[in-house]
A and B are shown apart, each in its own frame.
Chain A
Amino acid sequence: MSEEKQVFKDDSQLRQKTMIADHYSRLAAAPDTGEKSVYTFVPGNLTELIRNFDLLPVLPEINALQSAMRGKSKEYIAAAEREGHSEDVCTYVKCDVGMKRAGNVGPTGERLPDPDLLLLSYTGCFTFMKWFEILKQEYDCPVTMLHVPYQGEGEITDSMRKYVVDQIKQKIIPALEKASGKKFDIDKLREQLRRSAQAEDDLVAVLESAKNRPSPIDAYFGGVYYIGPIFTAFRGTEQAVDYYRLLNQEIQERVRLGKGPVTPDGEMKEERFRLVVEGPPNWTNFREFWKMFSEEGAVCVASSYTKVGGVYDTGFRHDPDRPLESLAEYCLGCYTNLNLPSRVDTLERYVREYQADGLLVNSIKSCNSFSAGQLMMLREVGDRTGVPCGFVESDLVDPRYFSGSNIKNRLESYFQMIEQKRGGVQV
Chain B
Amino acid sequence: MNYCVGIDLGSTTTKAVVLGESGEVLGRGITNSRSNYEIACDVSVGEALISARFGLLEEALAAEGVEADRRKVQLEELEQGFREEQYRGDLRELGSVMGRLLEAGTYSAQEADAVTCVLDKMEQNAGSLYGRGKSRKSDFFRDLAGGEYLELVEGEAKTRALSFDRLVGLYDKAILEVENTVAHDESFSSRIKAALGRIPEQDALLAKAISAVVAMNLTKAGSVGTGYGRQTLPFAKEDIRSEILCHGLGAHAMFPNTRTVLDIGGQDTKAIQVDGNGIVTSFQMNDRCAAGCGRYLGYIADEMNIGLHELGPMACKSTRPVKINSTCTVFAGAELRERLSLGEKREDILAGLHRAIILRAMSLLARSGGIADEFTFTGGVAKNPAAVEALRKLIQENYGERTLNISPDSIYTGALGAAMFAQREWRRRHCA
Whether A420 pairs with B279 at a CB distance below 8 angstroms is: yes
CA distance A379 to B369 in the complex (A): 8
A406 to B289, CA, bound (A): 9
Indicate with 1 or 0, residue by residue over B276-316, a CB within 8 angstroms of chain A CB atoms: 01111111110110000000000000000000000000000
Check A103 for interface membership: any CB of B closer than 8 A.
no
Binary per-residue interface labels of chain B (154-198) against chain A in the complex, 1 for a CB within 8 Å, 0 otherwise: 000000000000000000000000000000000000000000000
What residues of A have a CB within 8 angstroms of the CB of B416 in the complex?
none
Contact present for A406 and B285 (CB under 8 Å): yes
**A184 proximal to B (CB < 8 A):** no
Q: Is the CB of B245 within 8 A of A413?
A: yes
Contacts of B278 on A, CB cut-off 8 Å?
A: 425
State how many angstroms separate the Cβ of B37 from the closest Cβ of chain A: 14
Taken together as a complex, chains A and B put the C-alpha atoms of A382 and B228 apart, in Å, by 27
Answer whether residue A345 sits at the interface, using C-beta atoms and an 8 A cutoff.
Answer: no
Known: A409-B242, A413-B242. A365 touches B288 (CB 8 A): yes
* Binary B-proximity of A393-427 (CB < 8 A = 1, otherwise 0): 10000000101001001101100110011001111
Near A by CB (< 8 A), chain B positions 401-417 give none
A391-B284 CB under 8 A given contacts A424-B277, A425-B279: yes
Contact bitstring B252-293, A, C-beta under 8 A = 1, else 0: 000000000000000010000000011111111101100000
Given known pairs A413-B242, A416-B241, A425-B279, the reply for A375 and B367 (CB within 8 Å) is yes
What per-residue 1/0 map shows which CB atoms of B133-152 lie under 8 Å from chain A?
Answer: 00000000000000000000
With A and B bound together, what is the CA distance between A27 and B305 in angstroms? 63
- Do residues B288 and A393 form an inter-chain contact, with CB atoms below 8 A? yes
| Pairwise interchain contact A420-B287, C-beta atoms closer than 8 A | no
- Asked if A388 is at the interface of the complex by the 8 Å CB criterion, the answer is yes
Smallest CB gap from A365: residue in B: B288
**With an 8 A cutoff between CB atoms, is B428 at the interface?**
yes
Whether the pair B282, A421 counts as a contact (CB closer than 8 A) is: no
Size category, A interface: 20 to 34
> Would you give the shortest CB distance from B268 to chain A, in whole angstroms?
8
**Complex interface residues of chain A between 232 and 262 (CB less than 8 A to chain B):** none
Known interface pairs A393-B288, A403-B288, A426-B428; A413-B283 also in contact (CB < 8 Å):
yes
The distance in angstroms between the C-alpha atoms of A401 and B288, with both chains bound, is 7
With A and B bound together, what is the CA distance between A382 and B369 in angstroms?
11
In the bound complex, residues from chain B placing their C-beta under 8 Å from that of A416 are 241-242, 244-245
User: With the chains together, A393 CA to B228 CA distance in Å?
Assistant: 18
Q: Does A389 interact with chain B (Cβ within 8 Å)?
A: yes
Interface centre among B280, B287, B367 (most CB of A within 10 A): B287
Separation of A426 and B426 alpha carbons in the complex (Å) = 11
Known: A375-B367, A406-B285, A410-B285. A424 touches B279 (CB 8 A): yes
In the assembled complex, the Cα of A425 lies from the Cα of B245 at a distance in Å of 12
Chain A: which residue is nearest B280 at the CB level?
A417
In the complex, chain B residues whose CB is within 8 Å of the CB of A388:
280-282
A386 closest partner in B (C-beta): B281
CA distance A292 to B363 in the complex (A): 27
Query: Chain A residue with minimal CB distance to B287?
Result: A393
In the complex with contacts A375-B367, A382-B282, A426-B424, A406-B242 CB distance below 8 A: no
A294 to chain B, nearest CB (A): 15
Contacts of B244 in A (CB 8 A): 413, 416-417
Q: In the bound complex, how far is the Cα of B284 from the Cα of A413, in angstroms?
A: 10
User: In the complex the two chains form, what is the Cα distance from A197 to B260 in whole Å?
Assistant: 50
Task: List residues of chain A with CB within 8 A of the CB of B280.
Answer: 388, 413, 417, 420
Contacts of A351-409 to chain B: CB distance below 8 A: 365, 375, 379, 382, 388-389, 391, 393, 401, 403, 406, 409
Contacts of B279 on A, CB cut-off 8 Å?
420-421, 424-425
Residue among A389, A391, A403 with most chain B CB within 10 A: A391
Nearest opposing residue in chain B for A418, CB measure: B280
A412 to B282, CA, bound (A): 13
Q: Which residue of B lies closest to A417 (CB)?
A: B280
Is B243 part of the binding interface, using a Cβ–Cβ cutoff of 8 Å? yes
Q: Which residues of A contact B428 (CB under 8 A)?
A: 426
What residues on A are CB-neighbors of B277 within 8 Å? 424-425
B282 CB, nearest partner CB in chain A, Å: 7
Point out which of B280, B284, B367 has the most chain A C-beta atoms below 10 A from its C-beta: B280
Q: State how many angstroms separate the Cβ of B229 from the closest Cβ of chain A.
A: 11
State which of A379, A389, A406, A427 has its C-beta within 8 Å of the C-beta of B288.
A406
Chain B residues with CB under 8 A of A391? 284, 367
Considering the complex, give the chain B residue whose CB is closest to the CB of A394. B288
Give Cα A375 to B284, complex, Å.
11
Residues of B within 8 A of A417 (CB): 242, 244-245, 280-281, 283
Among A130-170, those with CB < 8 Å from B are none
B256 to chain A, nearest CB (A): 12
Residues of chain A lying within 8 A (CB to CB) of residue B245: 413, 416-417, 420
Q: Which residue of A lies closest to B249 (CB)?
A: A420
- Residues of chain A contacted by B243 (CB below 8 angstroms): 413
In whole angstroms, what is the CA distance A220 to B280 when docked?
26
With CB as the reference atom, state the residue of chain A lying closest to B281. A388
Closest to B241 in A: A416
- Encode contact with B along A71-90: 1 for CB under 8 Å, 0 otherwise: 00000000000000000000
Q: Please, which residue of chain A has its CB at the minimum distance from the CB of B267? A: A406
* Partner among A389, A393, A412, A427 whose Cβ is within 8 Å of the Cβ of B242: A412
Query: What distance in Å separates the Cβ of B241 from its nearest Cβ neighbour in chain A?
Result: 6
In the assembled complex, which residues on chain B have CB atoms less than 8 Å from the CB atom of A389? 282
Nearest CB of B to A178, in Å: 46
Instruction: Report the minimal beta-carbon distance from B251 to chain A, rounded to whole angstroms.
Output: 14
CA distance A425 to B285 in the complex (A): 24
Chain B residues closer than 8 Å to A410, beta-carbon distance: 285
Docked Cα-Cα span, A147 to B245, in Å, equals 48
A194 to B241, CA, bound (A): 53
B window 207-250: CB within 8 A of A: 228, 241-245
Q: How far is the CB of A358 from chain B (nearest CB, A)?
A: 11
Q: Which residues of A contact B228 (CB under 8 A)?
A: 409
Residues of A within 8 A of B283 (CB): 413, 417
Near A by CB (< 8 A), chain B positions 35-68 give: none
- Closest A residue to B428 by beta carbon equals A426
Measured CB to CB, the closest approach of chain B to A284, in angstroms, equals 13
Interface mask (A30-56 → B, CB under 8 Å = 1, otherwise 0): 000000000000000000000000000
Residues of B within 8 A of A413 (CB): 242-245, 280, 283, 285
CA distance A409 to B11 in the complex (A): 14
State the CA gap A427–B420 with chains docked (Å).
Answer: 10
| Assembly CA distance A417 to B228 (angstroms) | 17
A391–B287 alpha-carbon span in the complex (Å):
10
Query: How far is B288's CA from A382's CA once the two chains are assembled, in angstroms?
Result: 24
> Nearest Cβ distance between residue A155 and chain B, in whole angstroms?
31
> Which A positions have Cβ atoms within 8 angstroms of B?
365, 375, 379, 382, 388-389, 391, 393, 401, 403, 406, 409-410, 412-413, 416-417, 420-421, 424-427
Give 11 A-B contacts (CB < 8 Å), ordered by A residue. Answer: A406-B288, A413-B244, A413-B245, A413-B280, A413-B285, A416-B242, A416-B245, A417-B244, A420-B245, A421-B279, A425-B277
The 6 closest A-B pairs by CB, nearest first: A413-B242, A413-B244, A425-B277, A417-B280, A393-B287, A416-B242
User: B residues near A, CB below 8 A?
Assistant: 228, 241-245, 268, 277-285, 287-288, 367, 369, 424, 428
Supply 19 further A-B pairs (C-beta < 8 A) apart from A391-B367, A412-B242, A413-B285: A365-B288, A379-B369, A388-B280, A391-B284, A393-B287, A393-B288, A403-B288, A410-B285, A413-B243, A413-B283, A416-B241, A416-B242, A416-B245, A417-B244, A420-B279, A421-B279, A424-B277, A425-B279, A426-B428
